[in-house]
């Protein structure tokens, strides 16, 4: 059919309907071509690097949704051992089903979860210390830090139980705390093992105020808080790479752990949806009605994960040291020179250490007070149970004594009745014997001459 139309057009010229609607057809074709090119451009590049991942141990935060979930799926498909750090416990039915689906889908049983609340310093320390408290050191090939949170525009700031603003805590301080404790485990890996730390970043760090400028409630906003947390994480990542490189191994070989920053771009994740809808039902309704716009301009989680695949598998990325930024599956430069400022990084590290120490001491005191209160409640409960047992025992004894006295009374009553019956019987027998004797005497008198 198309060949017939083309041959007819070449011989006789375009048909009348094509000549009369020529400009309209040009506009339609041009618009469709523009949309296709725009979608292809917004979708980003695709990773082409490959390397074997079978048996490699990977810790992932944020691995149950968005870009992190796609990374977890891809590494699980390649046979890696996945350790998901999740907010809910492994016994949660939805998480258990999610993990079982991954195991069944990729025939990989080396996938499990550990409960780590990234808004709690104590929860992070408990997991990290358990991980490093092992001899010989546990194998660790990769850490993927994808977890992040944000406060929707127009909403009030959220404070964690430790007294820290939530965006700063989850996006920066949790990663700082986790990597600081896991540092011995990373440095203890064999020199010939390729160890990578993939840190998710965002271009929002470019418009962040300087870390030298303090921030308080008057200058706080969701946008500033998110951008500042990403700038702090990037600055810390460079300082952490220098911290690893400065370690002198006992065998004299250099440390092969590399920090790699990954910018997945703007993706249609739960966090982006929460930001666009401002966390309201009205915003969500508008988002659904106009879904074509975010579908066209934003990447899917799978497309955003391509840069993570590249950072995890490319062999040339480790040449020249760590601290590289990967965007669209290629290395790019940082837009803020502050991220490599050693003075800023040193001050940030010291302030973060001091804040964690202060908050952990306060949290430890609260947990001790709570345990003491629980122990007092347990003692009171035990005393109450004992008193209840004593009271019930007394009531039981009283009831038994009442039953015994009633039984004794009944027994005495029965004995009295039996005695009365025996007495009446004896009296009856006596009266009957006396009457028989008198009658026999009368008979004898009659018979006597």
How far apart CA 276 and CA 284 sit, in angstroms, is 8
Q: Say what the pLDDT of residue 448 is.
A: 44
Q: What are phi and psi of 269, to 5 degrees?
A: -100, 175
Q: Are residues 199 and 260 in the same domain?
A: yes
pTM of the predicted protein model? 0.80
Q: Are residues 15 and 148 in the same domain?
A: no
Radius of gyration of the chain from Cα atoms? 42
Domain-embedded: residue 11: yes
Q: Name the DSSP letter for residue 172.
A: I
How far apart CA 261 and CA 234 sit, in angstroms, is 8
Pairing relationship of beta strands 331-332 and 324-327 according to DSSP bridges: antiparallel
DSSP string, 368-427: HHHHHHHHHHHHHHHHHHHHHHHHHHHHHHHHHHHHHHHHHHHHHHHHHHHHHHHHHHHH
Q: Are residues 133 and 23 in the same domain?
A: no
Domain boundary among 339, 363, 387: 363
Q: Are residues 131 and 22 in the same domain?
A: no
Q: Are residues 125 and 165 in the same domain?
A: yes
> How would you write the pLDDT of the chain (449 residues) with one tens digit per residue?
567 767 767 776 777 777 777 788 888 899 999 999 999 999 989 999 999 899 899 999 999 999 999 999 999 999 999 999 999 999 999 999 999 999 999 999 999 999 999 999 999 999 999 999 987 889 999 999 999 999 999 888 999 998 999 999 999 999 999 999 999 999 999 988 999 999 999 999 999 999 988 888 888 899 999 999 999 999 999 999 999 999 898 888 888 899 999 999 999 999 999 999 998 999 999 999 999 999 999 999 999 999 999 999 998 888 878 899 999 999 999 998 889 999 999 999 999 999 999 999 988 888 888 888 888 888 888 877 777 767 777 777 776 666 666 666 667 666 666 676 666 666 666 555 555 545 554 544 444 44
DSSP string, 230-260: HHHHHHHHHHHHHHHHT---TTSPPP-EEEE
CATH number of the domain encompassing residue 60: 3.40.50.720
Range of the domain at 20: 2-42
Beta bridge partners of 200: 262
Active-site amino acid positions: 230
Q: Are residues 148 and 6 in the same domain?
A: no
Domain count, the chain: 2
Q: Are residues 237 and 164 in the same domain?
A: yes
CB contact at 8 A, 379 and 274: no
CB contact at 8 A, 273 and 215: no
Q: Are residues 158 and 224 in the same domain?
A: yes
Q: Are residues 259 and 125 in the same domain?
A: yes
Q: Where in 24-152 does DSSP place strands (E)?
A: 57-61, 81-86, 111-115, 142-145
């Amino acid at each position: 059919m198309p060949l017939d139309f083309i041959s007819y057009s070449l011989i006789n010229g375009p048909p009348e309907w094509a000549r009369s609607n020529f400009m309209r057809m040009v506009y339609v074709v041009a618009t469709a071509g523009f949309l296709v090119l725009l979608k292809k451009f917004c979708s980003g590049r695709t990773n082409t690097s490959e390397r074997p991942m079978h048996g490699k141990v990977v810790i992932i935060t944020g691995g149950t949704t968005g870009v992190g979930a796609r990374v977890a799926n891809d590494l699980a498909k390649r046979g890696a051992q996945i350790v998901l750090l999740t907010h809910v416990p492994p016994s949660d039915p939805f998480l258990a089903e999610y993990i079982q689906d991954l195991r069944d889908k990729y025939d990989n049983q080396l996938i499990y979860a550990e409960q780590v609340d990234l808004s709690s310093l104590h929860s992070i320390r408990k997991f990290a210390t358990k991980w490093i408290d092992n001899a010989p050191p546990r194998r660790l090939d990769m850490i993927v830090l994808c977890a992040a949170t944000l406060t929707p525009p127009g909403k009030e700031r959220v404070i964690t139980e430790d007294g820290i603003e939530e965006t700063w805590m989850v996006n920066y301080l949790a990663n700082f705390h986790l990597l600081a404790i896991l540092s011995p485990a990373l440095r203890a890996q064999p020199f010939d093992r390729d160890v990578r730390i993939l840190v998710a970043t965002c271009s929002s760090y470019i418009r962040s105020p300087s870390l030298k400028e303090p921030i308080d409630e008057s200058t706080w906003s969701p946008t500033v808080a998110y951008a500042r947390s990403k700038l702090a994480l990037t600055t810390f990542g460079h300082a952490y790479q220098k911290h690893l490189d400065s370690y002198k191994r006992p065998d004299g070989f250099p440390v092969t752990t590399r920090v790699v920053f990954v910018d997945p771009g703007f993706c249609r994740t739960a966090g982006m949806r929460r930001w666009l809808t401002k966390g309201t039902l009205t915003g969500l309704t508008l988002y659904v009605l106009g879904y074509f716009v975010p579908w066209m301009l934003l990447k899917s989680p799978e497309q955003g994960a391509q840069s993570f695949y590249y950072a995890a598998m490319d062999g040339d990325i480790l040449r020249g040291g760590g601290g590289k930024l990967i965007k669209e599956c290629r290395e790019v430069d940082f837009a803020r020179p502050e991220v490599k400022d050693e003075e800023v990084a040193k001050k940030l590290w010291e302030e973060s250490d001091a804040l964690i120490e202060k908050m952990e001491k306060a949290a430890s005191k609260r947990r001790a007070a709570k345990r003491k209160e629980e122990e007092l409640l347990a003692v009171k409960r035990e005393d109450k149970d004992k008193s209840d047992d004593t009271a019930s025992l007394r009531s039981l004894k009283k009831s038994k004594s009442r039953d015994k006295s009633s039984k004794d009374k009944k027994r005495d009553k029965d004995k009295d009745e039996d005695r009365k019956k025996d007495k009446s019987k004896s009296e009856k027998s006596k009266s009957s014997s006396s009457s028989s004797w008198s009658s026999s005497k009368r008979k004898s008198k009659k018979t006597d001459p």
